[in-house]
Amino acid sequence: MFRYFENLVDPYVEYAEVDAPPRRLWPFLRDYSRPFRRVFVVAAVLSIIVAAVEVGLIYYMGRIVDLLSGGSPGEVWQAHRFELIAIALFIVFLRPVVQGLDVMLLNNGILPNYGTLFRWRAHRQVLRQSVGWFENDFAGRIANRIMQAPPAAGEAVFQVFDALTFSLAYLIGAAVLLAEADLRLAVPLLIWFGFYVALVRWTVIHVGPASQAASDARSMTTGRVVDSYANIHSVKLFAHHDRELEYAKEAIEETRRTFIREMRVFTIMDVALTVLNGLLIVGVVGWAFVLWMQGTASVGVVAAATALTLRLNAMTGWIMWAVSTFFRSLGIVAEGLDTIAQPITLLDAPDAQPLQLRAGEIAVHSLSHHYGRGSGGLNKVSFTLKPGEKVGLVGRSGAGKSTLVKLLLRFYEPEGGRIEIDGQDIARVTQDSLRAQIGMVQQDSSLLHRSVRDNILYGRPDASEAEMIAAARRAEAHDFILGLQDPEGRRGYAAHVGERGVKLSGGQRQRIALARVILKDAPILVLDEATSALDSEVEAAIQDTLYGMMEGKTVIAIAHRLSTIARMDRILVLEDGTIAEEGSHAALLARGGLYAGFWARQSGGFLGTDPDAKAVS
């Protein structure tokens, strides 16, 4: 039974991805709710039926009062026994079935699957964003919105069918019941309903923005707290414990202030509702009592009217809370849309084809990129890497080395010019096929919070265990991996490395990252300070491995330690976004220019940092 309802909707059903999702709340929710349309209709019908049954039971309670006052027990039983037995059977058997179907459809069919569908699609959409998009926001805030919006959307759906549809049907049924007993009894109910709608409207107007502001403040707090945790080494190293607390306190205090404003709305709502409900009880029950005194209403009518108003009195607080929760949840979803519904800006061309890599020639034509600032980055850079050529990149910080690599990987779109691989403009090929042909080892090689095995196999998931271990051996990582153990007792290649690989030393992380790239075995290789985290002994041990990796590949190597690129076929010296010098190590030294100056100022193999020389990245 449970499985039937749980499988009514597949939350992972295929759908057409859009690059620019609806930014407005209702079109967005309507788009996400398409797989649930039929289920929603059935849920609404069942909710109305349940409400009708509840009103009918109150009506029948009044009828029983009239029956009991109309004769002796024997006479009442003799005249109405079949009716009473039928109602009893309905209450005992049929009513639980209807109620059970309503509850199972909502709790087992809609809620788990709707939140899952929302979270899956939201994560899938955000994961399509470019690297630059992620660099412009807190990872913690993005994650918070992805985790916070789906349950809020599910809560909104729950309130629609559990409270709003039910309560609307109940109010209509109550008005019909009172009007049938005596049309005048419906008058105070309708007057009360008018004031109640006005209070609901006031609450909705105020709770939506207040909830969105509170949700945004919570996301900001999460972002700041996660930022501190993710950079805990820097926090401790610079002894900025108090500074981080103050930084977080600003966000926490803003969260408190927004929450205070939100709770004021609910307090006003509760007090006003108590007054309105008092008027409802006095109006309906008092009017029914007057009609009874005048002889125009039976005791059963008074009993039914009393039960109905007391039930409404109990329900109105729940309904109001449901309405406010509904719009509060929508406020949270709306805040989440600021992240989830942002358009994808870095897209494959409509006619993009997979990259057909034949030889590995890289041609850069008048490449410019300034991150929209008009300065910095690259400025009309042109050069060609022949197939299998090894080229080193040298330059001060901000010279454009990292920008060039990011453009090669198409993490950003160039503002001018183009890059071609084997004659194919990389803007016209699919991003995945481009990056599949490039292996990269970065200066700060962060690892996934998974096992060592998972991290190495990330380079080529279909590799065998033997191939993975061989890659680890070539990266001088196998021996230390065997000695690893995490707090859960997992050992060796099964040990988890912690967030971003924090449980490992910098050198260990770098060697696992190297093993990952060795396993990938891509024909184009990018090394961004690949040995910077290694001590001299380990670096010397894997130098041959690095040069072995380069065999037959087109290589771009960024280095501060110039000795690591001295054996390259060619060295490009970048200065202010342009190629200032180009040639072999020996030729550049003989030229006596920038490169020769860097070499002369080296201390321990690094570029100098004297006052006359800018810092280098």
pLDDT(611) > 70: no
Claim to verify: residue 328 and residue 369 sit in the same structural domain: no
Looking at the domain assignment, is residue 218 inside a domain?
Answer: yes
Q: What is the pLDDT of residue 295?
A: 78
Residue pLDDT, tens place only, 343-374: 988 889 988 999 999 999 999 999 999 887 76
- Our count of domains for the chain comes to 2
**Could you give the C-alpha distances from 374 to 197, 356, 382, 564, in angstroms and in order?**
55, 34, 19, 33
The verdict on residue 615 lying in a domain is: no
Phi-psi region of 89 (alpha: psi -120 to 50; beta: other; left: phi over 0): alpha
Same domain as 399, residue 307: no
Q: For residue 90, is it within any domain?
A: yes
Picking from 308, 340, 372, the residue at the C-terminal end of a domain is 340
Domain identity same for 440 and 569: yes
Map residue 319 onto helix, strand or coil: helix
For residue 283, give both structure tokens: 């109006």
Q: Are residues 400 and 333 in the same domain?
A: no
Percent of the chain with pLDDT over 70: 94
333 and 444 in one domain? no
Q: Are the C-beta atoms of residues 159 and 347 closer than 8 Å to each other?
A: no
- Average pLDDT for 31-52: 90
Angle at 10 between CA 25 and CA 106, to 5 degrees: 70
Of 89-93, 337-341, 412-416, 545-549, which gets the smallest average pLDDT? 545-549
Q: What is the pLDDT of residue 532?
A: 62
**pLDDT digit string, tens, across residues 124-153:** 999 889 888 888 877 777 888 888 888 888
Phi, psi of 551 (to 5 degrees): -60, 125
Report yes or no on 299 lying in a domain: yes
- pLDDT at residue 498, rounded to an integer: 83
Query: 246, 169 in Cβ contact below 8 A?
Result: no
Report the distance separating Cα 527 and Cα 429, nearest Å. 23
What single DSSP character describes residue 458? T
Q: What does the DSSP assignment read for 345-363?
A: -S---TT-B----SS--EE
Q: What is the pLDDT of residue 542?
A: 66
**pLDDT value at residue 300:** 74
> What average pLDDT score do residues 177-190 get?
74
Closest CA to 114 of 34, 28, 212: 34
Residue 374 — left, alpha, or beta (φ > 0 → left; ψ -120 to 50 → alpha)? left
SS3 assignment for 251-295: HHHHHHHHHHHHHHHHHHHHHHHHHHHHHHHHHHHHHHHHHHHCC
CA 21 to chain centre: 15
Is there a single domain that holds both residue 321 and residue 437? no
pLDDT given at position 541: 65
- Of 39-43, 328-332, 411-415, 581-585, the range with the lowest mean pLDDT is 328-332
Range of the domain at 545: 362-601
In a shared domain, residues 394 and 517 = yes
Co-location of 95 and 127 in the same domain = yes
The pair of three-digit structure tokens given for residue 192, joined into one six-digit string: 């009360």
| 608 domain-assigned | no
Cross-strand pairs, 132: none
pLDDT number for residue 456: 94
Residues 416, 534: one domain? yes
Q: For residue 189, how many C-alpha atoms fall within 13 Å in the half-sphere facing its CB?
A: 27
Q: What is the pTM of this model?
A: 0.75
Q: Is 372 left (phi over 0), alpha (psi -120 to 50) or beta?
A: left
- 3-class DSSP assignment, residue 298: coil
Query: If you count DSSP H runs as helices and E runs as strands, how many of each does the chain have, helices first?
Result: 22, 10
Give residue for tokens 């699919």.
430
User: Residue 354 falls within a domain, yes or no?
Assistant: no
Residues 336, 370 within the same domain = no
pLDDT tens-digit series, residues 268-321: 888 888 888 788 788 877 877 887 887 777 777 777 777 777 777 777 777 777
C-beta atoms surrounding 272 within 10 Å? 17
Provide the CATH number for the domain around residue 397: 3.40.50.300
Does residue 616 fall inside a structural domain?
no
Secondary structure, 3-state, 364-399: EEEEEECCCCCCCCEEEEEEEECCCCEEEEEECCCC
Q: Which helix (H) or strand (E) holds 27?
A: helix 25-32
Q: Are residues 251 and 293 in the same domain?
A: yes
In a domain, 355, yes or no: no
When pLDDT is cut at 50, 70 and 90, the band that residue 330 belongs to is: confident
| Predicted local distance difference test score (pLDDT) of residue 531 | 65
Q: Which two tokens stand for residue 36?
A: 């649930």
Of the pLDDT bands very low, low, confident and very high (cuts 50, 70, 90), residue 537 is: low
**Number of CB atoms found within 10 A of residue 549's CB:** 23
Read off the CATH number of the domain in which 271 is found.
Answer: 1.20.1560.10
pLDDT of residue 435: 92
Identify the three-state secondary structure at position 415: coil
The phi, psi pair for 13, rounded to 5°, reads: -60, 145
Contacts of 559 (CB under 8 A, 6+ apart): 392, 393, 394, 527, 529, 565
CA-only gyration radius of the chain, Å: 35
Same domain, 319 and 394: no
